[in-house]
Chain A
Amino acid sequence: MSFMKLTASALAVAAVSASAAAARDNLQVAGSSTVLPYASIVAEAFGENFEFPTPVVESGGSSAGLKRFCEGVGENTIDIANASRAIREKEIKACAEAGVTDIIQVRIGYDGIVFASQLDGPAFTAFEPADLYNALAPKVVVDGELVDNPYTMWSEFNAELPEAEILAFIPGTKHGTREVFEEKVLAAGCETTGALEAMIASGMSEDDAEDACIAVRTDGKSVDIDGDYTETLASIDSNPNAIGVFGLAFYENNTDKLKVATMSGVEPETATIASGEYPVSRPLYFYIKKAHIGVIPGLKEFAQFFVADEIAGPDGPLSAYGLVSDPELADTQAMIENEETM
């Protein structure tokens, strides 16, 4: 008969939980794994300094986070989505369809994207966008003609680069980092090598050519990493010839294993990224559901705390971890104060 009691108690537990599920007192944040470290630092300090419980921060990628953000309004949905890119029109529409209409967009700062390789591997110390395009694009311009990418060594198209096999670990398509890589590196390289022109000359429409510009070769020389930077680091660790794409903060935590390459002659540092000299950088965002302000305790306080000078400012812990602080932080603070939606 003890089974009966056990079953009864189990059912009771389930019933209690279902009724108690209605009250949530902790903030729930999800999204970009690039923003995760910053969000976790802020969440921890928030829990220490306020009476609210420490918010919960999940990762999973910008797109996954925004998708969950757009599932609807209510305690069973997340309050904040972290993103390493701006929200897309498509996503705003999906949000609106689910009833998530008032969204506050908060830019927390900038993040540099760096190209790094094994510390004692070949001397990948300076890249131009054109080099990466030549190495990774499916079609490149050779002697004025658009051909399938024939290159297997870096030195074949740029004698200054080491004579090493081409192998690059780039972020997978679900990462916001991929978009920046495509825009700021591949598309730029496509233009400077003349591939864009050649594509248009061969009869492609401009849009198609731009899409073709950001494609990567599929013969195994460019490898998509769907996991986190640690996965890229592990791949670099076992391939001395490989280069990988990392966030600046991740690189700065692993300088004992990685060396970084300059892009267009500029060293990636917080200063060069802030000034815009280093070309491959992107803003980091989080998105707040305005409907949850006042419903979920601590939401507005958390957002204000996140962009406060002592946190996101140039001397704050986020900057110490690798975030390039936003010069227009004061505007962002005012925006959150007034709860201005997009």
Chain B
Amino acid sequence: MTDATASGAAPQKPASGSLLELDARTKRRNAAEARFKFYGMAAVGIGLLFLVLLLVSIVRNGVPAYTQTFISLPVELQAEKLDKNGNRDPEEIKKVSTFGYNPLIDQALFRVLEENGVESPFEKGADLRKMVSASAAAEIRDYVIANPEKIGETVSFRVLASSRVDGYLKGRVTREDLARDKNLDAEHLDIIDQLKEAGAVARTFNWSFILGADASESRPEQAGIGVSMLGSLFMMLVVLLLSLPIGVAASIYLEEFAPKNVWTDLIEVNISNLAAVPSIVFGILGLAVFIQFMHLPQSAPLVGGLVLTLMTLPTIIISTRASLKSVPPSIRDAALGVGASKMQSVFHHVLPLAMPGILTGTIIGLAQALGETAPLLLIGMVGYIASNYPDGVASGFLDPNSAMPAQIYEWAKRADPAYYERAWGGIIILLLFLMTMNIIAVILRRRFERRW
């Protein structure tokens, strides 16, 4: 009121300047606008710069993890070492542990050096064997157990080179670095150079990084993200199967059926609050409720999925309610008008129209859950865990497993620098998954969402 009377009391002077000539005030306003545009562009530019930096560093650090160095070894499977009694009984062959295979590898190495005319300063097989991954013995043993008839023959294996040899071919390890390293010597690298020339050592694409299981600290060259990828898959199944029905049912009830009173208001506020709760809180809740109280198994994807369900529910409820709200009331009125029950109007008319929004919200929620690490720390999914492939669906849910982000975290803290590279490599896979999910969400929204 006072404003109106004030402006009425002092009428504005008619503008005295020319339209073509800007007065000082207009210039200032225009300058402010230009400045603001510049700030905006600078902000976007900085954001893009960080994104590019991030992607470049991820790709640069992570891509080497996808190739691995292999050494071709003709190994003579000596019968007197592997099957003393000569009856080719798998049970007896199994009694020879992986340590029993090391002499065969030493011999094969000496043979490769000899065949390629490589001079070696190493007399002892154990010194020479530093070039080969410790996984080689297990690989050969598994082969012999599966093919006992091959004992006595010479079989050619492509075994993994040790992480430092691999690092040398990738440019991560130099001769100077090895000066004080007891895991490998510069002389080994001379041998590797010559073997590479001869074709016995080669760096090729490494599928087992994508499909394989985790490995112990002493053999990063063998580690893969495959098993923890399965762990993530089973967790996401639990999240999807629980949070989608619960979340959608809760939001349909709250949005369409529930009376508007203090209680529903309170519930609404608390759902929004839950969405903002830090994920570690859900982790400790999961530990207390699912593991210590309900006695579900430790480190199991089922428990991880339950915890992440708690975390994803608010996201799904909020987005589902938003998309239910965006369906115009005329749809409901029309359905009710032709005699549909309330439930029929919701399930036959409102829900199908809201579906694209619900699915988008669900996918975004799942993507969030897929990248979550903090709650998994507390329920025991970090460590040397993702070492066995699940035997079936039940074992996939219940046997200890890790998840992709937890595996990446675990690799990043291991001592051998080769694991650091694998952590970056794992991040690439995780990002690809997240990007795919987000793209699907965007497509769903673009394709099917209706606007009124």
- Complex: chain A residue closest to B141, CB-CB: A48
Q: Which chain A residue shows the least CB distance to B351?
A: A3
Give the chain B neighbours of A75 by CB distance below 8 A: 297
Collect the chain B residues with CB atoms within 8 Å of residue A6's CB: 241, 244-245
- Per-position 1/0 for B289-302, Cβ under 8 A of A: 00110111111101
Residues in A whose Cβ lies below 8 Å from that of B385:
56-58
Q: Is the CB of B299 within 8 A of A43?
A: no
Q: How far is the CB of A109 from chain B (nearest CB, A)?
A: 15
In the complex, the answer to whether B384 meets A30 with C-beta atoms within 8 Å is no
Q: Once A and B bind, how many residue pairs between them come within 8 Å at the CB atom?
A: 144
Q: What residue of chain A has the Cβ atom nearest to residue B139's Cβ?
A: A48
- Asked if B97 and A47 sit within 8 Å, CB to CB, the answer is no
Residues of A in contact with B, size category = 35 or more
Q: Does A256 contact B (CB under 8 A)?
A: yes
Closest residue on chain A to residue B401 by CB atoms:
A56
Chain B residue with the shortest CB-CB distance to A41: B216
Decide if B215 touches A44 in the complex (CB within 8 Å). yes
Residues of B within 8 Å of A256, CB to CB, are 173, 176-177, 181, 417
B316 within 8 A of A: no
Task: Return A285 CB to nearest CB of chain B, in Å.
Answer: 18
Interface string of B259-299 (1 = CB under 8 A from A): 00000000000000000000000000000000110111111
Chain A 236-256 interface mask (CB, 8 Å, partner B; 1/0): 000000000000011011111
A56's partner among B299, B397, B416, B417 (CB-CB below 8 A) is B299
Chain A residue contacts of B23, Cβ below 8 A:
none
B413 interface residue per 8 A CB criterion: yes
Asked if B299 contacts A28 (CB within 8 A), the reply is: yes
B383: A residues at CB distance < 8 A: 30, 36, 40, 56-60
**Interface code A89-100, partner B: CB below 8 Å = 1, 0 otherwise?**
000000000000
Residue contact A56 to B297, C-beta cutoff 8 Å: no
A338 within 8 A of B: no
Q: How far is the CA of A21 from the CA of B400 in the complex (A)?
A: 11
> What 0/1 readout, one digit per residue, does chain A (45-88) give for beta carbons within 8 Å of chain B?
10111000110111110000000000100011010000000000
Do B413 and A227 have beta carbons less than 8 Å apart?
yes
Q: How far is the CA of A37 from the CA of B384 in the complex (A)?
A: 9
Cβ contacts under 8 Å, A45 to chain B: 98, 138, 216
Interface of A is mostly: helix
Q: Are the CB atoms of A58 and B382 closer together than 8 Å?
A: yes
Per the bound structure, the CA–CA distance linking A227 and B98 in Å amounts to 34
The complex places the Cα of A54 from the Cα of B214 at a distance, in Å, of 11
- Given A7-B245, A28-B298, A310-B99, is A254 in contact with B380 using a C-beta cutoff of 8 Å? no
Within the complex, what minimum Cβ distance (angstroms) separates B145 from chain A? 11
Q: Do A58 and B380 touch (CB < 8 A)?
A: yes
List the A side residues contacting B444 at CB < 8 Å: none
Interface: B248 (CB within 8 A): yes
Bound Cα distance A52, B387 (Å): 12
Q: Is the CB of B218 within 8 A of A13?
A: no
Q: Is the CB of A254 within 8 A of B417?
A: yes
| Binary interface encoding of chain B residues 395-423 relative to chain A, with 1 for a CB under 8 A from any of its CBs, else 0 | 00111100000000000111111000000
Least Cβ distance of B324 to chain A in Å? 14
**Are the CB atoms of A58 and B299 closer together than 8 Å?**
yes
| 28 residue pairs A–B, Cβ–Cβ below 8 Å | A3-B248, A6-B244, A10-B245, A13-B238, A13-B397, A14-B302, A16-B394, A21-B297, A26-B400, A36-B383, A36-B384, A40-B384, A41-B217, A43-B387, A44-B215, A44-B216, A44-B387, A48-B98, A53-B399, A56-B387, A76-B295, A76-B297, A227-B413, A229-B415, A230-B415, A253-B417, A255-B179, A256-B181
**Chain B residues within CB distance 8 Å of chain A:** 97-99, 126, 134, 138, 141-142, 173, 176-177, 179-183, 215-219, 238, 241-242, 244-246, 248-249, 291-292, 294-300, 302, 347, 380, 382-385, 387-388, 394, 397-400, 412-417
Q: Which 10 A-B pairs have the closest CB atoms?
A: A58-B383, A40-B384, A37-B217, A256-B177, A40-B216, A54-B387, A44-B216, A57-B384, A253-B415, A10-B241
**Chain A residues proximal to chain B, CB less than 8 Å:** 1, 3, 6-7, 9-10, 13-14, 16-18, 20-21, 24, 26, 28, 30, 36-37, 39-41, 43-45, 47-49, 53-54, 56-60, 71, 75-76, 78, 227-231, 249-250, 252-256, 310, 315, 317, 320-321
